[in-house]
Amino acid sequence: MGTSLGYQIDRHPIAQSFYIEEDTGCFITKVDLFFKSKATNDPVCLQIRPMVDGFPSTDVVLPGSTVYVNGSSVNTSDFATTATSFVFEEPLFLKGNRDYAIVVITNSKDFEIFIAQIDEFEIGTTAGRVAKNPALGTLFYSQNGGTFTASQEQDLTFEIFRAQFKNSTQGDAILFNAELPLKLLDLDPITVTKGSNSVQVFDPGHGFVVNDPVRIEGVDSASNIGGITGPNILGPRTITAIDWTGYKFNAGAAADSDGIGGGLNVKVTKNIPFSIYFKNTQELVPPRTSSSTSLKLTTGKSFAGTETPYAKSNNFIHSRSNRTIYTKTPQVVANTAIETTELGSNIKSLEAKYKFVSEGNFVSPMLDLQRSSMTLIDVLIDRQDSAASTGFNAPLSYVDETSARGGSAAAKHLTRPVTLLNPAVGLKIAFAAHRPPGSDFQVYFRTATSDLNILDQNFVLTPEITNNPVDESQLIYRDYQFMPGGPGGQLAEFTQFQLKIVMRSTNKARQPFVRDLRVIALSV
């Protein structure tokens, strides 16, 4: 382009439109501008904006297109021979068959930029004049960025650099889980029992198994929990028993009294168990390109299951992005110490591979790492065995679900107490439910007359009167019925009732679902 004039920029942006001819679009890496003068201590800003109704947008800037160059780094020349590059942090995708605008902004009047004007002499000569506008676009002036006015006889002096890719090739990007930070526990999570060196830690959903290492931090060395001081709790410990509420380990001394403590700052190493995940992936897939995702996961363990934990898949398994995925077995992201012991040095428990393919030279799929993540969801469900003393289904502290208060099962739904206007002698309970193999649910009820506090009454287990099979498909829901007191009602008269549904499973990735709960009180 012939360059003829220097234009002074002073708080009023100028813009130059340009057109992307490729149908597929393209990525641009930088824009070169040419300055005649500058302000040493002030920056100059370049942006890429869409064109709206033939004018640069006044309020929309393409994400990632804003580049600042400090005045001290701006190159100047008398004849527009030295460029100043505005390099984007990452290649910027522009859609095909679209108009865009380069917008230049600064607050200093000392910046002077080169433009070309019809019929003016080219810089450095009196022999040649700028004869015509280039086919790239139009120059625009603005008053404080509020509106733009087109200049049909002028154009900015600039160069746009386009990225070039290898076509018909595949590129893989492999990502791993980061090192897991310590987990801050609730207030006073440590419990000790008189005469025992076993320490219980309240840490629901921890994801550990027996014999796993755990590191305890944040207990004051001067603290005293039932006679056990901080140094006998802190540091690496080996887990001896677990349930969904937490785990136990052996301290360096026995307690001389029952105690609860630890304070506000107890931190522990953690795993992240999950059986549901959602890949929040922000990808750009231009025309004539494609991308796919696959994962390697590591097995976890259910609280009543027989799974082998910490077994990492050998092969990548295809996984769809931006949708909820239910695994068939529990999985885990393990902390670094367990990864090293169970998987090997420098082997991570979660691995994602993104495969990119392009058929053209100017486009490629792109994964935005700043806006991509993975949401992991765990399910707290177990199948406790009151008779078990060891094993995954042995609770740390068993409370039967018939108890008026408590009940140590992990998954349950407790209704609000219901008060009746007239006495009843029975209940008809119905709900829709999905029950996969290895899972079930139990329905408990309790009743009371108006002169009693229903919260003080024990629950009673009621048998199911339907006999539905288990179902693999999550889409299948069947109707379940329960009738405390029988069809005609044979309970003692009551005016209050409350229900509890306890859900159990040997595989926490295959849990039951309950919906549409209906209850009818049977009158006298």
Helix (H), strand (E), coil (C) string for 73-130 = HCCECCCCCCEEEEEEEEEEEECCCEEEEEEEECCCCCEEEEEEECCCECCCCCCCEC
Tell me what pLDDT residue 127 has: 53
Q: pLDDT higher for 166 or 105?
A: 105
Output helix, strand, coil percentages for the chain, rounded to the nearest 5.
5, 45, 50
What local confidence, expressed as pLDDT, does residue 369 receive?
Answer: 87
132 pLDDT above the threshold of 50: yes
Angle at 384 between CA 382 and CA 389, to 5 degrees: 130
Q: What are the structural domains, with CATH classification, of the chain? A: 5-162 (2.60.120), 183-268 (2.40.30.20), 272-377 (no CATH), 411-523 (2.60.120.200)
Single-letter amino acid code for the residue at 399 = V
pLDDT mean over 477-500? 95
Summarize pLDDT for 176-199 with one digit per residue, the tens: 999 999 999 999 999 999 999 999
- Dmax (CA) for the chain in angstroms is 113
Is pLDDT above 50 for 220?
yes
Higher pLDDT, 370 or 230: 230
What pLDDT sits at residue 124? 56
Angle at 44 between CA 39 and CA 50, to 5 degrees: 155
26-75 per-position pLDDT tens digit: 999 999 999 999 998 899 999 999 999 999 999 999 999 999 999 999 99
The pLDDT of residue 385: 80
- The pLDDT value recorded for residue 134 is 54
> For residue 318, is pLDDT > 70?
yes
C-alpha closest to that of 33 among 160, 156, 158, 123: 158
Confidence of residue 480 (pLDDT cuts 50, 70, 90): very high
Q: CA-CA distance, 333 to 379, in Å (whole number)?
A: 15
Give yes or no for residue 515 having a pLDDT over 90. yes
Residue 451 has pLDDT above 90, yes or no: yes
From residue 129, give the alpha-carbon distance in Å to each of 4, 124, 156, 311.
8, 11, 16, 74
Non-local (6+) Cβ contacts of 370 within 8 A are: none
For residue 1, the model assigns a pLDDT of: 42
Q: Going by C-beta distance under 8 Å and a sequence separation of 6 or more, which residues neighbour residue 234?
A: 216, 217, 219, 221
Lowest model confidence (mean pLDDT) among 9-23, 150-164, 209-223, 460-474: 9-23
Q: Could you tell me the pLDDT band of residue 4, with boundaries at 50, 70 and 90? A: very low
Q: What is the mean pLDDT of the chain?
A: 91
- Where is 519: in which H helix or E strand? strand 513-523
Q: How confident is the model at residue 10 (pLDDT cuts 50, 70, 90)?
A: low
Least confident of 81-85, 144-148, 153-157: 144-148
> Ranked by mean pLDDT, which of 43-52, 119-128, 134-143 comes out on top?
43-52
pLDDT tens across 373-423, in order? 999 999 999 998 876 666 667 788 899 999 999 899 999 999 999 999 999
Please report where in the chains the tokens 């209050």 appear, as a residue: 496
Residue range 307-314: mean pLDDT, rounded: 96
Residues 47 and 102: their CA atoms lie apart, in Å, by 6
> Mean pLDDT, to the nearest integer, of 146-155?
88
**Sign of dihedral through CA atoms 247, 248, 252, 254?**
positive
Residue range 237-246: mean pLDDT, rounded: 95
Taking the whole predicted model, whether its pTM rises above 0.85 is answered as no
The confidence score (pLDDT) of residue 513 equals 95
Q: Going by DSSP bridges, is the β-strand pair 351-358/169-176 parallel, antiparallel, or unpaired? A: antiparallel
What's residue 116's pLDDT? 85
pLDDT(248) > 90: yes
How confident is the model at residue 247, as a pLDDT? 97
